[in-house]
Amino acid sequence: ALVISIPLGFFAGIGGASNAGVLVKGSNYLETLAQTKYVVFDKTGTLTKGVFEVVGVHHNTMEEKKILEYAALAESFSSHPISRSLKTAYGKEIDQKRVTDVEEISGNGVTAKVDGTSVAVGNTKLMKRIGVEAVECHQVGTVIHVAIDGAYAGHILISDVLKPTSKEAIVNLKKNGIKETVMLTGDIDKVAQQVAGELGVDRVYSELLPADKVSKVEELLAKKTEKEKLAFVGDGINDAPVLSRADIGIAMGALGSDEAADVVLMDDDPMKIVKAIRIAKKCMRIVYENIYFAIGIKVICLLLGAVGIANMWVAIFADVGVMIIAVLNAIRTLFVKKL
- Which positions are catalytic? 42
CB 337 within 8 A of CB 19: no
d(CA 41, CA 88): 28
| Number of helical (H) and strand (E) elements in the chain, helices listed first | 12, 13
* Pairing of β 180-184 and β 36-42: parallel
d(CA 103, CA 126): 12
Which of 81, 8, 45, 2 lies closest to 283, judged by CA?
Answer: 8
d(CA 32, CA 58): 48
CB-neighbour burial class of residue 243 (10 A; exposed 0-12, middle 13-18, buried 19+): buried
Q: HEC string of 282-318? A: HHHHHHHHHHHHHHHHHHHHHHHHHCCCCCHHHHHHH
> In 46-101, where does DSSP find H-type helix?
64-74, 81-90
CB 134 within 8 A of CB 145: yes
d(CA 241, CA 217): 10
Q: Going by C-beta distance under 8 Å and a sequence separation of 6 or more, which residues neighbour residue 178? A: 36, 37, 38, 39, 277
d(CA 322, CA 317): 6
Dihedral pair phi/psi, residue 4, rounded to 5°: -85, -50
* Pairing of β 117-122 and β 142-148: antiparallel
